[in-house]
A and B are shown apart, each in its own frame.
Chain A
Amino acid sequence: MTVRSIGSQPIQIEQDVVLARQMARKLAQECGMRLIDLTKLVTAVSELARNTMVYGGGGDMDWQILDEDARTGLRLVFRDEGPGIPDIKLAMTDGWTSGSGLGLGLTGAKRLVEEFELDTEPGKGTRITITRWT
C-alpha cells in the first residue's frame, strides 16, 4: 500500500464542516469514485466533521489517498482533543445522542464506509479513521 498524497484541514466552525465536505468530494473525485460511493463518503464526512466541531470542540481532518494493487482509497482521520466518549457501546447505539441530534451520525457514518475505527479516551479526545475504496 502506497500513499499518493496527504493533507489536513481544520474543523472549528460550522463553515469548516461545509469546507470539509467539499474537500472530501474533490478528493473522492480524484480517486475516481463512483457517484454513489462518493455521496456516501461525503455524507459520512459531514456527520463526523460536525461531531468533531460540536462534541469535540473543534479539531482537524487529515486525509490520505492510498494506492493498493488495482484499487484506490481515501482515508480520512477526524481528531479532536475534546472530552472523549465515555461509553463507546452507548455511543454506537442507533438513536442515542448526548446532544440534540437524531443519534444516527456515528452509527450511520460507520455503515456508509468500508473501514471504520474509533479511538477515544475520556478527557483526552477522539480519533475516528474512515476509509472507502474504489
Chain B
Amino acid sequence: MAALQTTTLNAMKTNQAQLLADWAHGLETSGATRNIKELDLKQQTSEFLQLIIAGLENGNSQNVAAPGWDEIRQFLEKLSHSRALLGQDSQQTASFIFALKGPLFALLQNHYQDDPALLAEQLWEASELLDALGMHTIRTFQKSREAVIKRQQEELLELSTPVVKLWDGVLALPMIGTLDSQRTQVVMESLLQRIVDTGSEIAIIDITGVPTVDTLVAQHLLKTVTAIRLMGADCIISGVRPQIAQTIVHLGLDLQGVVTKANLADALKLALTRLGITVSKAD
C-alpha cells in the first residue's frame, strides 16, 4: 500500500491556515468545544497539525505505533487525559480528530482534481491515518476515565471508614452503604487498629446506614465481633431497625451472642453503664 505522497504533505503545509480555520469551525458545529477555552483549542489544533506533518516527514503513515509518531501519541494522551478531567465523553474527545477529516479531504480533492485514482488512494491513506490516531485517543481516554473511577473508589474506601471516639474507652463506627465488598475488610482493619491505638474497651458498630443486612453482611459482622472480643474488648451493634430485625429473624441468623441496640444513643448509654460512668443533669 502506498504511503501519503510528498505532494499531499506539501499541500498540507502550504494550506495550514485554511485547514486550521475549517477544522476549528467543524469542531464548533459538532459541539466538541464545550467547556474548552478558545485559546486552548487553537493551540491544540495547531500543535496537532504541526505534529502530524512532522510525523509524516519522519515516518510512514501506515503505522502510528512506530517511533516516528511518539510525539503525536504523547500529545494525544495528554489531550484525552485533559478531556476526561473536563468531563467530556469519548465521542466528544474523538471528534477532535475526526473533525479534521472534512477539511483535509476537501483539500485533497482540490489538489488531485486531475487524478481520481491518486485522489482515492491518498484519501484512503489519510483516512486510515486519522482513524488510527482517533482510536489511540479513545483508548487512552478510556484509560484516563478508568483511572478517575479507580481514584474515586479509593476515596470512597477512605471516606467510609471513620472510626470516631465517643468517650474515653468507647469507639463508634458508623457504617454506611454496601457492606459486602472489600470495604468491610478495610472497615474491620481500621476499627481493630483504633482499638489497639486508643486502648478502648467498647466498640459500637452502627448499621443505621446499611440498607440491607443479608447473610454475608451478618457473617462479616459476626467475624468482626469475634475479632474484637479476641482483643479483649466488647462490641455492641446499634441501628437495628424494626424491618432489619424482622428480616434477620426470617433469615434464621443467630445473633444471640451479640449485644444489639435499636439506636446509637442506647448503645452509648449501655457502654457508659458498663464503664461505671453515670451522666446526670447539672442542677
CB pair B216 A21 closer than 8 Å: no
CB pair A36 B246 closer than 8 Å: yes
| Cβ of B264 to closest chain A Cβ, rounded Å | 20
Contacts of B246 in A (CB 8 A): 36, 39-40
Interface residues of A, count at CB 8 A: 24
Contacts of B213 in A (CB 8 A): 43
CB pair A14 B181 closer than 8 Å: yes
**Complex CA distance for A50 and B220, rounded to whole angstroms:** 15
A-contact 0/1 string along B99-134, CB 8 Å cutoff: 000000000000000000000000000000000000
The yes or no answer to B253 lying at the interface (CB within 8 A) is: yes
Give chain B's interface residue range (CB within 8 Å of chain A): 20 to 34
| Cβ of A29 to closest chain B Cβ, rounded Å | 13
Among B212, B215, B250, which residue has its beta carbon within 8 angstroms of that of A42? B212
| Cβ of A108 to closest chain B Cβ, rounded Å | 4
Contacts of A76 in B (CB 8 A): none
CB pair B243 A102 closer than 8 Å: no
CB pair B252 A104 closer than 8 Å: yes
The yes or no answer to B3 lying at the interface (CB within 8 A) is: no
**Complex CA distance for A39 and B242, rounded to whole angstroms:** 10
Chain A residues packing against B (C-beta within 8 Å): 14, 17-18, 21, 25, 35-36, 38-40, 42-43, 46-47, 50, 94, 101-102, 104-105, 107-108, 111-112
Chain B residues packing against A (C-beta within 8 Å): 178, 180-181, 211-216, 218-219, 242-244, 246-247, 250-253
